[in-house]
Every structure is written in structure tokens, then in C-alpha cells.
A and B are shown apart, each in its own frame.
Chain A
Amino acid sequence: MALLPVQALILTGPARQLPQHVQRPCAREDRVESLRIPILKIGDILIASIQVNLHDASAVQFKDDLLQKIHDTRAKGVIIDLTALDLVDSFIGRLVADIAAMAGLMGSRVVITGLQPAVAITLVELGLELPRVITALNLEKGLSVLQRLTAESGDGAA
């Protein structure tokens, strides 16, 4: 059992195709585990790049993992990079807004980066403009936004 997280990490990645799972209805727990999003720490910033077609349970798992990691590492800022996502529906959109609000309560700032044009268009047409979420064009610009934000708020407290 102790080896499970390591296996999960190896299995995680864009190359893993969803249709393979469809044939294995009994392996549900395993599926959820294998879709865990890696969260990287650089200095006092966390970076997570979502590169899989998220289903609801893995998205909720990501929220829990990220908030726990913010707590454990005392990260001042978080970047969630969505460059690889070709779809953000109302569920994922709401989750992103929730993560930003929850991290804010913990004293950490969240910047969303890399939204594709098609994703930005569908989000607004859907009626989900995410007015309280801070965004940046790409990871590099996101980092400078985050550095400015955390510098303004001193010790990183929101």
C-alpha cells in the first residue's frame, strides 16, 4: 500500500488516454488516483499545470491537494497553468474560482495562466466571467504578477 503514491505519480501524464479506463469499470479508485495533478514548489510559489482532461472527482482532488500543499509549504502564491486545457466548463470554472477564494483566505494568492482563446470565449458565453480571479497571459507573466502581488502584501497575507 505504501507504494501507491509512487505508482500514481508514474502513471500521471498527458500520454495516459482516458478511453483505456472505460473498459475497466471496476477500477474506479485506481482511475481517480492516476489522474492526480502534480504540484511543484519553487521558492515560496507553487506551480500546477493541468494537462489532463479533468473529470469532476480529479478536479476536486486537485483542489484538496493544492490547499493542503499551500498549508504545508506556507506558499505565498500559486500559479495554476491551464495552457493545455481545451475546455473549461462551469464545474471546472467554479472550482478554479473556489480555489482562488479559499487560497486567499489562507493568505496565498492564486494566478491562473494560459487560458486558450476558445476557452476564454466559451467561459464568457457560458456566463462565467470569473471577475475575482487574477489571470495572466502565460506562466512567465503570471510569475511577475504573483511577485508583485506578494511584494505588495508584505508577508504574503491577503
Chain B
Amino acid sequence: MGQPKSAVIRSDLDIVIARTMARDMARTLGFSAIDQARIATAVSELARNIYLYAGTGTVTCREVEKHGRKGIEIVCEDQGPGIPDIDLVMQDGYTTSRGMGMGLPGAKRLMDDFSIQSQVGVGTKIVLRKWRS
């Protein structure tokens, strides 16, 4: 198992750094070119959410294994305002003035596992996993 890698999100440039980091790890773990693009795109969406709504946060990628199957896990965490109604933001087409309404549901579709915890005034933690086929 390789070392986990983290990127701090503070600016729009850090979004590029985070998705490049995720793609590099996915490539190292043997994901196909299309899965690499899915993983990097999901990270790009979630890192942008951190930048737009929380201002700062972190994206951490690590290798995971379950029942002999290898995968990548991505944890996106922030201490931002939190999400009052998670069901609402997970609806396709739901958007605030700044988004397109496909950040969260889009990222979920691109990955295999998706879980979200959020508390208003405390922050948001999203865990994504993709398993190698």
C-alpha cells in the first residue's frame, strides 16, 4: 500500500493540483484511462465545491482493498458552512447561483461508492471510492 496523498484547497489552482494528484494515483493503481478521467473529474467537482462554499479544505487520496479487490478512496473534508439539506443537493438539477447542479450527483455517478456527512456550521466530509475492474 502506498502512502496517502493530500492536497489543501485554497484557490482554483489547487483544484487542478488535487485532480492531477488523484489521476496520478489512479494511474499508479492500474485504473483504465476512462476510470482515471472519471476519478479526476469527480475530484475536480468536489474540490471546486470546497473552494466555492467552504473556502478551504483538503482532498486526500489513498489505496484501499476490500475482499481482495483494489481501489482508490478519496476523502474531501472542509470546515465550511455545511449542507442543511443533503437530499436536496443530491437531486439532479439542484443548483445554487454558483453551481450547475451536477457537482454532487455527478461525482456520485462517476464513482462506485459515495457517502456524505455534513453538519451546519461544522463542515462537510465526502468519501468516494472506485474499485478496479
The answer to whether the Cβ of B76 comes within 8 Å of any Cβ in the partner chain is no
Q: Which residues of A contact B5 (CB under 8 A)?
A: none
The answer to the question of A105 belonging to the interface, with a C-beta cut-off of 8 Å to chain B, is no
Q: Are A90 and B45 in contact (CB under 8 A)?
A: yes
- In the complex, are the beta carbons of B92 and A118 less than 8 A apart? no
Task: Name the residue among B37, B45, B105, B109 with the largest chain A CB count within 10 angstroms.
Answer: B37
The answer to the question of A44 belonging to the interface, with a C-beta cut-off of 8 Å to chain B, is no
Near B by CB (< 8 A), chain A positions 115-138 give: 116-119, 121-122, 125-128
Task: Report if B110 contacts A (CB, 8 A).
Answer: yes
Contact call B34/A117, Cβ cutoff below 8 A: yes
Which one of A1-9, A50-58, A62-70, A147-155 is at the B interface?
A50-58
CA distance A54 to B15 in the complex (A): 10
Do B45 and A87 touch (CB < 8 A)? no
In the complex, the chain A residue whose C-beta lies closest to that of B110 is: A125
Is there contact, CB below 8 Å, between B15 and A87? no
Question: Within the complex, which residue of A89, A91, A94, A118 is in contact with B34, where a contact is CB–CB below 8 Å?
Answer: A118
Looking at the assembled complex, report how far the CB atom of B16 sits from the nearest CB atom of chain A, in whole angstroms: 5
User: Which A residues touch B110, using CB under 8 A?
Assistant: 122, 125-126
Give the distance in Å from the alpha carbon of A94 to the alpha carbon of B98 in the complex.
Answer: 12
Closest to B13 in A: A55
| B58-69 to A contact mask, C-beta < 8 Å, 1/0 | 000000000000
Known A-B contacts A18-B16, A18-B20, A53-B20; the reply to A87 vs B41 at CB < 8 A is yes
Select which of B11, B41, B99 is within 8 A of A126 by beta carbon.
B41
Nearest residue (CB) in A for B43 is: A89
A116 to B99, CA, bound (A): 25
In the bound complex, residues from chain A placing their C-beta under 8 Å from that of B99 are: 90
Give the docked Cα–Cα distance between A15 and B100 (Å).
32
Determine whether the beta carbon of B103 is less than 8 Å from that of A90.
yes
Nearest Cβ on chain B to A52's Cβ, whole angstroms: 10
Closest CB in chain B relative to A25 CB, distance in Å: 9
B13-A21 in contact (CB<8A): yes
- Residues of B with C-beta under 8 A to A54: 16
Q: Across the interface, which residues of B come within 8 angstroms of A21, CB to CB?
A: 13
Tell me the bound Cα distance from A56 to B99 in angstroms. Answer: 13
Which residues of A sit under 8 angstroms from B38, Cβ to Cβ? 118, 121-122, 125
Task: Say yes or no for B106: interface residue by CB 8 A criterion.
Answer: yes
List CB contacts (< 8 Å) of B27-81 with chain A.
33-34, 36-38, 40-41, 44-45, 48
Give Cα A30 to B15, complex, Å. Answer: 18
A74 on the interface (CB 8 Å rule)? no
B23 contacts which chain A residues (CB < 8 A)?
86-87
